[in-house]
Amino acid sequence: MAGPATSLAAKPARSGAGTPRVIRNPLWVRVVFMTLALGFLACFLVLPLAAVFAEALRKGIGAYFHSFADPDVHSAIRLTLLTAAIAVPANLVFGVAAAWCIAKYDFRGKSLLVTLIDLPFAVSPVISGLIYMLIFGLQGWLGPYLGAGDHPWFGEWFNQQDIKIVFAVPGIVLATIFVTFPFVARELIPLMQTQGNDEEYAALTLGATGWQTFWRVTVPNIKWGLFYGVILCNARAMGEFGAVSVVSGKIRGETTTMPLHIEILYNENNSVAAFAVASLLALLALVTLVLKSFIEWRHAQSRPAV
């Protein structure tokens, strides 16, 4: 629920704008509405975005690029990419499986399942991190067994391993998977539901196997929805702050992702460097928005014109 209300399926096929109508608001109302809307968006959206780049370049282009020479920044970028590279495919596979069973079949408890899938959006990011601390932290359920030590139930090899989940990369990845969990699924479920099962049935009567039907008929039909879900999932995975901040331990150069590294730099009053790293994430956000608009446009094009 408390997740993005944005969805490909919710996009209207055509908007009412542009259809010439006799009945409409008087000019002054339109001017007031336009001014309020655009003014509000300028203050709250355009200005912050502009501020990121302006602050990053405050001391000139040289200082800007110098910020990226820091090996800790490199490691933050690497960790962010790695986290997204694990979390996004994992949630992609899950999203497809969930959408397949929810959109293609009728079973009891289906609406409960849909609600549960949306659950991570309803949870504060801080809590998303906390719950993994409760399981893998030193005071947690599994925490005491993970470090090296003499645990009677496990084999010798296991006891010699010093497995770190929280305050390490696995915890960051897990927390990221949690917060980006619903993105692909909630994109695909409505899409596959509106498409129905007829094309899959047709493929089956023509002798295709289940996998052939899936790869040759279903996947091409949902590819834009898939892509849409993936870029939203990726934007959140790379940008997540709260959940990751709880489990990371913020060991500089080891467990700081880009958003966490921004915090460190900002608190050190290294404003230019903080905004320089932030500018990369802002660029990512802009690319995400452009891709998103492109997919919406493609999706509107591909709607049958009948």
State the number of binding residues for another protein (CB under 8 A): 135
- With CB under 8 A as the contact rule, which of the stretches 67-75, 149-157, 186-194, 274-282 interacts with another protein? 274-282
Angular region, 96: left φ>0, alpha ψ -120 to 50, beta rest: alpha
Q: How far is residue 67 from each of residues 59, 64, 273, 276, measured CA to CA in Å? A: 11, 5, 5, 7
- Calculated CA dihedral for residues 233, 126, 284, 65, nearest 10 degrees: -150
Q: Which of 167, 178, 227, 228 binds another protein (CB under 8 A)?
A: 178
- With CB under 8 A as the contact rule, which of the stretches 24-32, 63-71, 152-160, 186-194 interacts with another protein? 24-32
How far apart CA 140 and CA 251 sit, in angstroms, is 20
Three-state SS at 167: coil
Q: Check residue 251 for interaction with another protein (CB under 8 A).
A: no
Q: Check residue 202 for interaction with another protein (CB under 8 A).
A: yes
Cα 2 to chain center, whole Å? Answer: 14
Q: Check residue 107 for interaction with another protein (CB under 8 A).
A: yes
Report the residue number, 159 or 195, with the smaller CB distance to another protein. 195
- With CB under 8 A as the contact rule, which of the stretches 13-21, 67-75, 151-159, 186-194 interacts with another protein? 13-21
Minimum distance, C-beta of residue 163 to another protein, in the bound complex (Å): 17
Report the residue number, 134 or 160, with the smaller CB distance to another protein. 134
Q: Which of 68, 74, 209, 251 binds another protein (CB under 8 A)?
A: 209
- Asked if residue 201 lies in contact with residue 20, where contact means CB atoms within 8 angstroms, the answer is no
- Asked if residue 129 lies in contact with residue 242, where contact means CB atoms within 8 angstroms, the answer is yes
- Structure-token match 């879900």, residue found: 229
Q: Which of 62, 152, 155, 304 binds another protein (CB under 8 A)?
A: 304
Report the residue number, 68 or 141, with the smaller CB distance to another protein. 141
Minimum distance, C-beta of residue 152 to another protein, in the bound complex (Å): 24
- With CB under 8 A as the contact rule, which of the stretches 59-67, 71-79, 152-160, 191-199 interacts with another protein? 191-199
How far apart CA 90 and CA 111 sit, in angstroms, is 23
- Asked if residue 231 lies in contact with residue 292, where contact means CB atoms within 8 angstroms, the answer is yes
